Structure 1
């Protein structure tokens, strides 16, 4: 991982991480200079437990040694992983292109003994902090959607604080943190991270089996943790479904296996609902009329985007609600299921939501001259496209036809 090494040449790595933390190396074509090969059996015999190998860069480069190095490391008994060296650029969609190129070369990672795919982010490509954050999010979400695994993010402190404005938007992704200090631990973490998964503590390690210097890493925080992280077979949706028998009653049986979801994540349909997983949202369950309404709105590909919570009770008796990135769905047995979103939702919640004078919604949002409107049990909320303000209309709405 070149840029980091160049940016920290004044630091000599003398750190002595906890010996209980498994050690590992990361390599690229730089470890094959002048035709040198890697003796992976020697790497393993030297006490290393894992190896992460550069697979791709941008959308055109593939490490010519990737396939052989991964096979050699696996044959030697090492846990393996693969990383992509990011080349951020506009438009943001280039992140998706790079993620797909990366995964096309890496292949299936949902097997035992493989770490999740890694995004190596250490250059800006001239992007602003906001655009760089969006670019990284797009890459990571595409990887989690296509693999069902929480991808790992590699970076270093000064890059995160100086180039991406110390954003905490990516703090739910496992962190591979690079810092070459003289301490037995990495020290404070940027970007809202509370813990690290891998610590690259030197770029000048001498590793038997590898010519020249190599990056050396520690894994937090023991062999069992490494084994768990390398279990690519784990299915977050299936794991929650198996652990909570009550979900069997509300959701019914699976209709098919999980698959990619729009916006980043995975989803699986059941006979009476669906389950959704992403790194940002965790695993969420929707059932009944709320699930049907959500799918009618396009699921995570639609305006509601991804679910943020399980279904919960409203303040109104017998009412249920589900919270999404782009709005909410409310349901009542006498009223049906309806969507509230945007500025109308913000005003509705500010007024007290379902427990206040408006009551529950009795319509989806609809067009009116100059804006949009939603009807509730005891009034309406109307949004003006001219002023971006929401007006309260205190008049009872007609009883709805339950959808």
Structure 2
């Protein structure tokens, strides 16, 4: 498991025929033709974080991924330290609105001091709710919500029915506490694929709960 050659969720995850990756600047320069040939269908690319950060590799990754046959989308890392409207402006200013792209993802997970001392649910929703509203209004689709198990249970459970859930569960098959179905499953954070040369040698793998035609139904209009 440490080297990425054995991952407990792989057998279950690979029963889903539609697979994809998510990447950021940590993967360095990506040869998208090579990566796209690794039996994947989609890629999400880190674009923004909070109200002022843009991933330094986003523009290159966005262009490179769109030059392949992959379905492509962007993700934003939620901060609870800046207003949702400001974070939405950062997303809109950074991520083009292209018909046929995957919906924008809002990544809801702990960071910095909030891993040891999670914020109140009200404080998270005060930021998250206006961000989701602005993203949906601009891109024409509800954002996908990515969450770890802990933060899903704290902040998303029993809510956000219109937003597809991308759930991280790298040790077991995903089960959401509220009984809701997941749409995307991040089943590994330690895969090794060809096509990138960053300091981070591993890459995240994700399964989609459906066929390619089902995924097409989620694309931006």
1:381-400 to 2 correspondences below 5 Å: none
User: Residue 68 of structure 1: CA displacement?
Assistant: 1.1
TM-score, normalising length from structure 2?
0.86
Q: Residues of 2 paired with 1:116 and 1:56: CA distance?
A: 14
Whether 1:200 and 2:221 are equivalent positions in the alignment is no
Whether 1:218 and 2:207 are equivalent positions in the alignment is yes
TM-score, normalising length from structure 1?
0.48
Report the CA distance shift for 1:193/1:148 in structure 2 as closer, same or farther (over 3 A): farther
Task: Specify which structure has the higher proportion of strand.
Answer: 1
Q: Residues of 2 paired with 1:134 and 1:40: CA distance?
A: 37
* Alignment-derived partner of residue 164 in structure 2: 174
The residue matched to 1:48 in structure 2 has which SS? coil
Does the CA contact (< 8 Å) of 1:172 and 1:193 recur in 2?
no
Does the CA contact (< 8 Å) of 2:75 and 2:105 recur in 1?
yes
Max radius of gyration: which structure?
1
Which of 90, 97, 100 is the equivalent residue of 1:108? 97
User: Residue 87 of structure 1: CA displacement?
Assistant: 0.9
Q: Residues of 2 paired with 1:151 and 1:58: CA distance?
A: 16
Does the CA contact (< 8 Å) of 1:81 and 1:115 recur in 2?
yes
CA RMSD of aligned residues (A): 1.9
1:334-349 to 2 correspondences below 5 Å: none
Q: Which 4+ runs in 1 deviate beyond 6 A?
A: none
Identify unmatched segments of 5+ residues in structure 1: 1-11, 234-403
1:249-260 to 2 correspondences below 5 Å: none
The residue matched to 1:83 in structure 2 has which SS? strand
Q: Residues of 2 paired with 1:175 and 1:193: CA distance?
A: 12
* Alignment-derived partner of residue 144 in structure 2: 152
Does the CA contact (< 8 Å) of 2:84 and 2:126 recur in 1?
no
Does the CA contact (< 8 Å) of 2:16 and 2:209 recur in 1?
no
Pairs aligned (count): 206
* Alignment-derived partner of residue 95 in structure 1: 84
Q: Residues of 2 paired with 1:193 and 1:145: CA distance?
A: 28
Identify unmatched segments of 5+ residues in structure 2: 1-5
The residue matched to 2:185 in structure 1 has which SS? strand
The residue matched to 2:41 in structure 1 has which SS? strand
The residue matched to 1:229 in structure 2 has which SS? coil
Q: Residues of 2 paired with 1:197 and 1:102: CA distance?
A: 22
Does the CA contact (< 8 Å) of 1:55 and 1:62 recur in 2?
yes
Q: Residues of 2 paired with 1:106 and 1:118: CA distance?
A: 11
User: Residue 25 of structure 1: CA displacement?
Assistant: 0.5
Report the CA distance shift for 1:167/1:217 in structure 2 as closer, same or farther (over 3 A): closer
Report the CA distance shift for 1:176/1:169 in structure 2 as closer, same or farther (over 3 A): same
Which of 58, 67, 72 is the equivalent residue of 1:80? 72
